[in-house]
Amino acid sequence: MHCLSFETESPVSRVMNSWSPQALVQKSLEARNFAYCPYSKFRVGAAVLTSTGSVFTGCNVENACYSAGLCAERTAISKAVSEGHTTFKAIAIASDLEDRVISPCGGCRQFMREFGSQWDVYLAKSDGSYKLMTVEELLPCSFGPEDLRAKQLD
């Protein structure tokens, strides 16, 4: 079943000229189709919107060594960073859960927070409905790059 993804066009990064929360959520829903999750069977997709309007998608990528697996959010953000984008407007996250929104794990909250605490996170259900939160709301009283710089003063 996973082989099908090789026959489908990859959701490559591209500029979203007029974005909307619904459109970003839709991209995260589509990104689920590429999830590599033979162990959990729990598909997750993410789509991150950069400050310049580019969208990068990601999916969870599991591994036989379970702890080496990667979440969809970190996949999407890493794709963006590896192409020079480090400022973000929003990220949408979707799974197959129908009755509740998907919530990012603690590791991903910290990963997002590296790039600021005042940007939007759309937590979606499989039907595309969503809950909007900020990184700050998901990870209050966080530790970030500013804290490391504060240490360098002495």
Q: What are the phi and psi torsion angles at 29 (to 5°)?
A: -65, -40
Q: How far is the CB of 96 from Zn ion (least distance, A)?
A: 16
Among 25, 71, 112, 121, binds Zn ion (CB under 5 A): 71
Q: Known binder of ligand: residue 62? A: yes
Q: Does 124 bind Zn ion (CB under 5 A)?
A: no
Rounded distance between C-alpha atoms, residue 69 and residue 96, angstroms: 19
Q: Does 90 bind Zn ion (CB under 5 A)?
A: no
Q: Does 135 bind Zn ion (CB under 5 A)?
A: no
Q: Does 108 bind Zn ion (CB under 5 A)?
A: yes
Is 73 annotated in the active site? Answer: yes
DSSP 120-138: EEEEE-TTS-EEEEEHHHH
DSSP 86-101: --EEEEEEEES-SSS-
Residues lying near Zn ion in the complex (CB under 5 A) are found at 71, 105, 108
